Amino acid sequence: MIEIGRLCVKLAGRDAGKRCLIIDILDDNHVMIDGQTRRRKCNIDHLEILDKTAKIKKDASNTDVVAALKKIGIEVQSKEKKEKKEGKKRPRKAKKKKEKPEKKGKTSRKEEKAKKKEQKQAKKQKTEKKSS
Amino acid sequence: MPRGMQKSRTLRRVFRKTPGSRNVLHYKKRKPSKAHCSSCGAELKGVSRERPYRTNNMSKTEKRPERPYGGVLCSRCTRKTIKENIKKEKT
């Protein structure tokens, strides 16, 4: 009954109720399994053996096992991580900015920076003209 | 005179050691009854037996076994039900 490619159902642990194929026979009591379960060593007592078999090689890769299971009619969920869904974000409360009354005579920092830039550029142009 | 609440055994008694190395009696509410398998009635293992104020802070995996039917059926009955489900699928 127990042979490589035999379809089983796991009975114990967190993979209980999931289908798997036997990949390798380790000793009288233990086998390697893969499929819907994790790829792991397993006691034969923790497996319910079913009547179907799939043609796979010893120590078949996970993709081969998934393909073999698909032929039997068992789909395996891909183990790739799902991308995080963007949940509905609550609109953040915008803080009210205090409007400061602009003082006359003083220019704001931005304006000062802009002025300085202009002066620098003018100087550069002058020097370039001289050199040329 | 002790209070009536302290004379009855509705509250369980807990000895606590104080920082000053004194033994003090504390009165606490009793733990809830053990969880049982819903099909055979056996005591469930791995199910936490605490008051809700403690279990609320526990993680999910601390509260019950991580397998299907964990915390509802015992391990024997889960095996039985899984086998029965397979037979039902075939027919």
The CATH number given to whatever domain includes residue A24 is 2.30.30.30
Q: How far apart are CA B13 and CA B6, in angstroms?
A: 9
CB contact under 8 A, B82 and A14: no
What is the domain range of residue A13?
A: 6-72
Name chain B contacts of A50, Cβ cutoff 8 Å: 86
Q: Where are the domains of chain B?
A: 1-30, 32-91
ipTM: 0.75
Kindly write down the DSSP assignment for every residue of B28-86, as one continuous string.
EEPPPPPPB-TTT-PBPSS-----HHHHTTS-HHHHS-SSTTTTTS-HHHHHHHHHHHH
Give residue B22's Cα distance to chain centre.
31
The answer to whether residue A97 sits within a structural domain is no
Q: Residues of chain A whose C-beta is under 8 A from some C-beta in B? A: 9, 11-14, 16-17, 48, 50
Tens-place pLDDT, residues A90-120? 777 777 777 777 666 666 788 888 888 888 8
Q: Minimal Cα–Cα distance from B79 to chain A, Å?
A: 6
pLDDT in tens, chain A (132 residues): 889 999 999 999 999 999 999 999 999 999 999 999 999 999 999 999 999 899 999 989 989 999 999 998 888 887 677 677 777 777 777 777 777 776 666 667 888 888 888 888 888 888 887 776
| Closest chain B residue to the Cα of A47, Cα to Cα | B79
Residue B28 confidence (pLDDT) above 90:
yes
The answer to whether residue A132 sits within a structural domain is no
The answer to whether residue A101 sits within a structural domain is no
* CA-CA-CA-CA torsion sign (A18, A20, A26, A28): positive
* Number of structural domains in chain A: 1
Tens-place pLDDT, residues B41-58? 999 999 999 999 999 999
